[in-house]
Amino acid sequence: MRLGAFSVSLAVKDLEASKSFYEQLGFESTGGDPQQNWLIMKNGDHVIGLFQGMFEGNILTFNPGWDQSGSELDSFADVRELQRELKERGIALISEADDSTEGPASLMLADPDGNQIMIDQHR
């Protein structure tokens, strides 16, 4: 199953404090909007998203259609295709992509320990 680019979405209490901390670890801001309380930071191929007040808990995030650098892939598995495959495997979904649409969509699931996983397609 090709899930796309991987990152960790962190629920943070103080965006600026978290940004400063991760900068000390060598991460650099590569996107986001601090005015909207979120930033994307990168260190080599490692990507984290910092999100203040947007959700509880941390989320493992996969982005179909992107490589680890955020560049678009020529070929990728659509989130709806992944959703069908997950359902066929008997994996319960927390939220689903609308199967009648095309383009951007997302779905959520959780692992056996309750860790949330989002498959978030932006194109």
pLDDT digits (tens, 9 = 90+) for 29-87: 999 999 999 999 999 999 999 999 999 999 999 999 999 988 999 999 999 999 999 99
Structure pTM?
0.88
Q: Which domain holds residue 45?
A: 5-121
92 φψ region: left (φ > 0), alpha (ψ -120 to 50), beta (else) = beta
- Which CATH number do you get for residue 39? 3.10.180.10
> How many C-beta atoms lie closer than 10 Å to residue 63's C-beta?
24
pLDDT band (50, 70, 90) for residue 92: very high
For residue 96, the number of C-alpha atoms closer than 13 Å in the C-beta half-sphere is 14
Structural domains of the chain, count:
1
Q: Which of 1, 34, 42 is nearest to 16 (CA)?
A: 34
Q: What share of the chain is helix, strand, coil (3-state, %, to 5)?
A: 20, 40, 40
Question: 15-34 pLDDT, tens per residue?
Answer: 999 999 999 999 999 999 99
Of the candidates 117, 60, 120, which has an alpha carbon nearest to the alpha carbon of residue 93? 117
Instruction: Count Cβ atoms below 10 Å from residue 27 Cβ, excluding itself.
Output: 21
